[in-house]
Structure 1
Amino acid sequence: MDEKLIASCGMNCALCIAYQFNENDLNKRGFHRKYCLGCIPRGENCLHMGDSCELLAKGSVRFCFECEKFPCKRLKVLDKRYRTKYHMSMIDNLEFIKANGIEAFLEKEKALWRCQECGGTICCHNGLCLNCNIDTLLSNKKYRWGE
C-alpha cells in the first residue's frame, strides 16, 4: 500500500476497481471500464468530495479530518454508501489515520485487504482479488460481494 493512494476523504484508491483495472490493464480482457491512477496521483485531492469542498479543491487540507466540519454531510452520505455496499468506511479510515498515523493505517489495510491465495489486493467494490477471481468477474461483470 502506498500513502499517495489514500485520498483526502479516506478512500484507499488501491482497493478501487478503476485503479485495479488500470494496474492490471483489464480492459484487454473484454471489459470497458475507465481507468484511474488514484486521486492524489491524478492531481485531484478527492474524486468524491473535491467538487463540493473548497478546502479540498484548493488543497488546503490533506485529509478531511483536518476540517472543523469533519465529518461533513457529504462525507457521511458517501461513508454510508461505502459501508453498506462495499464493506469499508471512509470515516473509520480517517479516524484511524488521525489516531494512529498513516503508516499504521497502511499496514492495517495491507493485512485487511490482502488476498489469502496470491497476496494481491482485494477490490472493495466487488470483494474479489482480480488476480485470482477475474473469471468470476468475466462471467458476471456486475458481480458484487457474493451476489
Structure 2
Amino acid sequence: MKKDLIAPCGMNCRLCISFQAMTLELKKKGFNRKYCRGCIPRGENCTHMGDSCELLRTGAVRFCYKCDKFPCKRLKALDKRYRTKYHMSMIENLQYIKENGMDAFLKRQEEIWKCQRCGGAICCHNGLCLSCDLKKLQQNKRYRWGEVEVR
C-alpha cells in the first residue's frame, strides 16, 4: 500500500471500487465503472471533504486529524455511513495514523483488507476481491457485503 493513497479524510483509496476498477482494468472485462487514481494522486486533496473544508481544499493540512475541529460534523456523518455500509471507519483510520504513524497504518491495512485467495485488496464498498469475485459483482452490480447470491 502507498502513503499517497490515504486521503486526508482517512479513506484508503486502494480499497475503493473506482480505484480498483482502474487498476484491474474492469471496463475491459465488461464492468463499466468510473475510474479514479485516488484523491492525492489526482490532485484533489480530498474528494469526500474538500468541497466543505477550506483546509482540505487548499491542501493546508495533510490529514483531518491536524484540524482543531477534528472530527468535524461532516467527517462524523461520512464516517457513520462508511462504518454502517462499508465496514470501515475513516475516523478510526485517522486516529490510528496519528497514534502509530503511517507505516504501521499501512501494514495494518494490508493485513485487514488482504484477499486470502490471491493477496489482492478487498473492496470496502462491497466486501469482494474484484480479482476473485468479479462474476458475483457482474451478476449484481449493487452487491453489498455478505448478500446471498441470486441465481
Same fold (TM over 0.5): yes
TM-aligned CA deviation for residue 146 of structure 1: 1.3
Q: Which residue of 2 aligns with 1:102?
A: 102
RMSD of the alignment, in Å? 0.6
Match of 1:135, SS state, is helix
Q: Does 1:139 align with 2:151?
A: no
Regions of 4+ moved over 3 Å: none
Please state if 1:53 is matched with 2:53: yes
**Residue equivalent to 1:72:** 72
**TM-score for the superposition, normalised by structure 2:** 0.96
CA distance in structure 2 between the aligned counterparts of 1:130 and 1:19, rounded to whole angstroms: 11
Cα deviation, residue 32, structure 1: 2.0
Give 1:71's aligned amino acid. Answer: P
Structure 2 CA distance for aligned equivalents of residues 126 and 25 of structure 1: 18
| TM-score where L is the length of structure 1 | 0.99
| Separation (CA, whole Å) in 2 of partners of 1:115 and 1:24 | 15
Aligned to 1:7: 7
Q: Over residues 76-131 of structure 1, what are the superposed CA-to-partner deviations in whole Å (9 max), with x where a residue is unaligned?
A: 00000000000000000000000000000000000000000010000000000011
- Among all aligned residue pairs of Structure 1 and Structure 2, give the percentage whose two residues are the same amino acid: 68
Taking the aligned partners of 1:25 and 1:118, their CA distance within structure 2 comes to 17
Greater Cα shift, 24-33 or 55-64: 24-33
Structure 2: distance between partners of 1:33 and 1:139: 14
The Cα shift of 1:31 comes to 2.0
CA-CA distance at 1:27 after TM superposition: 1.2
Number of aligned residues: 147
Q: Point out where structure 2 has 5 or more consecutive residues left out of the alignment.
A: none
